Chain A
């Protein structure tokens, strides 16, 4: 079988700083990582490949430096990596991104075999939209299975897949068909430690670098800023609150007294709360 997994290289958001004057992200020195949610999808793809035999192609769209993320993915054991990189993609919103990626997936399919499953992570940690996966599914007419917690069964002959899907308030058991697009839920598996062989292969193997033209994209008006229906009009830092927290003094006091003081302060500010906690809470 052939599996395509889309990943994204993102700045490690725990270390992001915003320039106080220009309100731009200070990327310098901020390490980049594979979007953590994508690793669950990658591991699932690798497990399926190991179980059913086949190939995993990892695909990303991004600047040339996104090659690092692909090399890491190869190190985990992916068989092939494609970097979709072109200045025409700059400024893509989710619609333009899903267009470019779906075109590239179609090209990957033509070149290396039609994928049976396309994986993405649940969402990214920088954009957080969770919309690119569904966008790709719609454009490639793949059955869409989002928030998948478990692949319960897969029958390649019957082209049938059963999954457990996280939904509001429970788990849906779904039966669907290949080819499909799966967005993998977090915490569903743990990314493997790549083998030494994979590490050596990753260092040696070539990352395919595709421009828009290489990916067979002829309509550049659907890419990047031009192909994005949404326009960012304003970027600004969140307003900071004027006053800081009122501190409860802790010097030379027993913990018990500090606790009483804190509770008194809470109920002074939220008088109705004491009644609610006493009658609805605790017990």
Chain B
């Protein structure tokens, strides 16, 4: 793909490398970039969350924050550019070409690596979505630089390095990772891990346009079609304001209906813990936790979920966590805000009924007045 980086002299590495100074040829790498993930005209909200984090990093470093938009020419990228500025970017790089209309690894990797080699950012952030992970791995390998995946905290060290903290071993431990002798320092962050920043409409800043240097006939992979998820299958779990989830404590796949009933009554999305997906009780796109979705709802109700560390990692951002579990020593009570030691199978119908009563039109009118 790119031969540029093979010429990069590799610094002496090893443990001693930790204290080494950044090689001279990387010293002009400056500024923070956020990849604005645009697929079929939609900007993924994780890009805004990253702009929020990127803004903080750029301010600490005293550098600029840039959004990177890759897409087809014309109108399609316009909202993405406006969004980038509204969420804090100082400037936007656009790579435009008709063949960038659908995401494909080859041209997107080429577009991103060309841009990096030309403009030299010190930090490059991408969302840990299917698209972002597909792209980040290729870009980092092409550039032979470090990539820290699924970060939960990003900070700038006193020496200006990116300190990227991520869970490891299913969330049992956290580790802070540096890319000391290579640039850019790349990191991905999962949707909903970082808070959504405030949108402020501001005048657009600089927009720097690039053409893609690769023609369609050099790209092997072709998109034959796209089948959007049906509304029901498209679990918008990550961005739901209220989530109800079930765990092994529900005892059977049939009892998941109790979770769905409560979710329907309060307009929530429903989900589950990992063992249920492994048992085939629920589809993988409904899994909440380190290997599933990270959620940040205003209210999270966990029924029959013990609260293993890998589940905890995915729900800690919730404003209010309610746990229902028969075992008073279940770890979920260590991080839930409200707990009830009782059998979820018996309690969920009562809770559904009580919510329905409380939120009934009669009471709703009282609330409105």
Contact = CB atoms under 8 A, between A and B. Distances in A.
Contacts of A204: none
A158 interface: no
B111 interface: no
A162 interface: yes
Main SS of chain B's interface residues?
mixed
A171 interface: yes
Greatest chain B CB density within 10 A among A23, A139, A231, A256 is at: A231
Interface residues of A, number: 96
A278 B222 contact: no
A262 B39 contact: no
Nearest to B229: A170
B225 interface: yes
Interface string B255-276: 0000000001111100000000
B295 to A, nearest CB: 15
A131 B137 contact: yes
A177 B310 CA distance: 37
A260 B128 CA distance: 40
B145 to A, nearest CB: 6
Contacts of B319: 270
Interface in A39-58: none
B39 A167 contact: yes
B266 A238 contact: no
Nearest to A234: B176
Interface string B127-162: 011110110111011101111111000000000000
Given A168-B130, A170-B228, A255-B347, A129 B141 contact: no
22 contacts: A13-B169, A128-B150, A129-B150, A130-B137, A167-B226, A168-B130, A170-B227, A170-B229, A172-B223, A177-B221, A225-B15, A228-B146, A229-B145, A230-B147, A234-B175, A235-B176, A259-B355, A262-B340, A270-B319, A274-B359, A281-B268, A282-B356
Interface of B: 1, 10, 13-15, 17-18, 37, 39-40, 42, 44, 102-106, 109, 128-131, 133-134, 136-138, 140-142, 144-150, 163, 167-182, 220-229, 234, 241-242, 264-268, 277-278, 280, 283-284, 290-291, 298-299, 308-310, 312-313, 319-323, 332-342, 346-347, 350-351, 353-356, 358-359, 363-364, 367-368
Q: Which 8 interchain pairs have the tightest Cβ spacing?
A: A281-B267, A134-B137, A245-B339, A229-B146, A259-B354, A129-B149, A255-B350, A230-B146
